[in-house]
Structure 1
């Protein structure tokens, strides 16, 4: 991949950058010229290596999105070294692997793990970067929601609640900070072929593919492309949630 200059001179934070959609997003932004802080609780060394191999600029940042102190430390260090943060992609997320994920059977501990990562982590990220974005004259934020935020899906109670919260928080932050130059949008992916799906059966994989009008799973790079568009071109969009779902929303059923 040859580095393009669409985001040259911008500094971006991408959470969940060790794998999946986060890694693809970090590589796409680095490929468009941004300096990318690859943030994750896991090691992002391979993501940084891949970005630099293709001529991009990236740094690894150890960050647990659930903790405000981690965010404050990371943002302070990046601003001190690079002057400002222009872009934030809140990608980090988990699904409930600790209990059945229905309203009746979900445990409190399992609920909290998902809410803390998928919703609280998005709030803390915006809380950390928006003040310095305002001071620098503006910035852009993309939060990863889910189709589970927009329709009922089986065994995803905590995940649906968290991602629905991301949609609501995106709208509220967009309303609050648009006149300060901060644009905030969300993406609702369909089923994307990431490591989260590594353990599913062939039958489950086929069912997930067939939920889309485009009868396959999405690729992380296809979500990354939408993030890059909103960062590069999305100057008149804010408060919106964009399905990138292979036609799932249009199809209207699971």
Structure 2
């Protein structure tokens, strides 16, 4: 299915998986709203230089007002990719070591943000007869991993919310899925040592870090081809979820 004459809204489009997703959907023909709390001008410039169509959207995904303004400005959203997210950089991320501030920050961004996004775009999708949404979850939603308590809770919530929303809105031809990436080589890994990177790579059966473009390809598959898929949380993890341990 072509994405020509459609509009896709991608959050977290400044860098990493969000930027790769925006560039891929634009290459597939969509007009891409590149949304982020940071300036997405560089992403838009790269898309336009490659012959695609895009625009900057200033969006704090934690703000219902920002979501409403973005959707009103765009007029229509055929595809939503909820990519933006954070990890806990405020405190230890164990159940005992977490602070309330850290919990609220991670859950407010990684779980509330995708909910607000779906709430903002689904009414218009119902009116137009359908749409597709992909939420970014994580392997942390499916596996017990160290020092990721708030992140695991948020991403597990994304997977559960994806299933529930898929059930609720399938009758309106709205297909909603999630992706659970393994460890992806993005700027979020910029401060870790080469040894830590290699340890993360070794968690995968395919012994390397994933690439942002590989996650973007799965988003594009759900949008372009996944006409009989909804309610899934699909691992794109180099085989990590197939292992008996990490």
TM, length-normalised to structure 1: 0.96
What's the CA shift for 1:6?
2.5
State the SS of the aligned residue for 2:45.
Answer: helix
Matched, 1:42 2:38: yes
Map residues 1-254 of structure 1 onto 2, 5 A cutoff.
6-79=2-75, 84-254=76-246
What's the CA shift for 1:150?
0.3
Mapped to 2, the partners of 1:127 and 1:39 lie a distance apart of: 16
State the SS of the aligned residue for 1:186.
Answer: strand
Q: Which moved more, 1:184-193 or 1:243-252?
A: 243-252
Mapped to 2, the partners of 1:251 and 1:36 lie a distance apart of: 36
Mapped to 2, the partners of 1:245 and 1:68 lie a distance apart of: 32
Mapped to 1, the partners of 2:216 and 2:69 lie a distance apart of: 26
State the SS of the aligned residue for 1:48.
Answer: helix
**How many residues are aligned here?**
246
Mapped to 1, the partners of 2:193 and 2:149 lie a distance apart of: 21
Mapped to 1, the partners of 2:145 and 2:3 lie a distance apart of: 36
Mapped to 1, the partners of 2:184 and 2:12 lie a distance apart of: 15
Deviations 1:34-90 (A, max 9, x none): 0000000001000000000110000000000001000000001100xxxx2100000
Deviations 1:214-253 (A, max 9, x none): 0000000000000000000000000001100000011232
Moved over 2 A (4+): none
Mapped to 2, the partners of 1:77 and 1:178 lie a distance apart of: 26
State the SS of the aligned residue for 1:6.
Answer: coil
State the SS of the aligned residue for 1:184.
Answer: strand
Supply the RMSD in Å over aligned alpha carbons.
0.7
Structure 1 unaligned spans of 5+ = none
State the SS of the aligned residue for 1:59.
Answer: strand
